[in-house]
Amino acid sequence: DIQMTQSPSSLSASVGDRVTITCRASQSISRYLNWYQEKPGKAPKLLIYAASTLQSGVPSRFSGSGSGTDFTLTISSLQPEDFASYYCQQSYSTFTFGPGTKVDIK
Amino acid sequence: EVQLVQSGVEVKKPGESLKISCKGSGFSFSSYWIGWVRQMPGKGLEWMGIIWPDNSDTTYSPSFQGRVTISADKSISTAYLQWSSLKASDTATYYCARRDYGLSDAFDIWGQGTMVTVSS
């Protein structure tokens, strides 16, 4: 099975900050890496697929990069509605989610 | 509108059986894999398994193999997740989600979640 790790597990940031979350796979997954945002009481929402492609309707302040085993999600200027948890997911071999990163208000 | 609508809140006792549902609309249900994802209270997302409704081809996560059964009825565009004997540790919110090949196999449409509480 492919294992996924994320760092940090949580972070505190202010509106306007640049935020970067890292995701690492236990083996190469090419670019089969997706990012989701989850807010309390709501279903997860797809933000980015194929490592760097923005899902329709997602603000351009979100971006993704990476390939192979190392990936990043960047929020260029954090907005109030971005305080949430973020999960990476590999879809190279079945599916595995990362443990998540909680972004809260500093 | 493309959507997945799940069945409502469930409160059950240990040892009871349960079947929850996920109904698709606005797309060709038989042409997409439908997955199930567990989220235990305060925890992260766990992929449980996935089904191709057209022929009910199913793949389970090793962590859930033998613990749950995933099925589908393509005639009514509905996927199911069921337990034969619930445990307290099955308390969680369960999501169904559509896998899209065109989006790197990402889960692009999610149901609203079904909260299951198992308690004596």
CB-CB neighbours of A43 under 10 Å: 21
Q: What percent of chain B has pLDDT over 70?
A: 100
> In chain B, what percentage of residues exceed pLDDT 90?
96
pLDDT (tens digit per residue) in B89-105: 999 999 999 999 888 89
Query: Maximum Cα–Cα distance for chain A, whole Å?
Result: 38
Q: Is residue B18 within a helix (H) or strand (E), and if so which, with residue range? A: strand B18-25
Res A89: pLDDT = 98
pLDDT at residue B104, rounded to an integer = 84
Return the residue of A nearest to B59 by Cα: A94
Which residues in chain A have Cβ-Cβ distances shorter than 8 Å to B113? 43
Query: pLDDT digit string (tens) for A64-77?
Result: 999 999 999 999 99
| Tens of each residue's pLDDT in chain A, 106 residues | 999 999 999 999 999 999 999 999 999 999 999 999 999 999 999 999 999 999 999 999 999 999 999 999 999 999 999 999 999 999 999 999 999 999 998 8
Interface contact A86, partner B, CB < 8 A:
no
Q: What single DSSP character describes residue B87?
A: -
**β-strands A10-13, A101-105: how paired?**
parallel
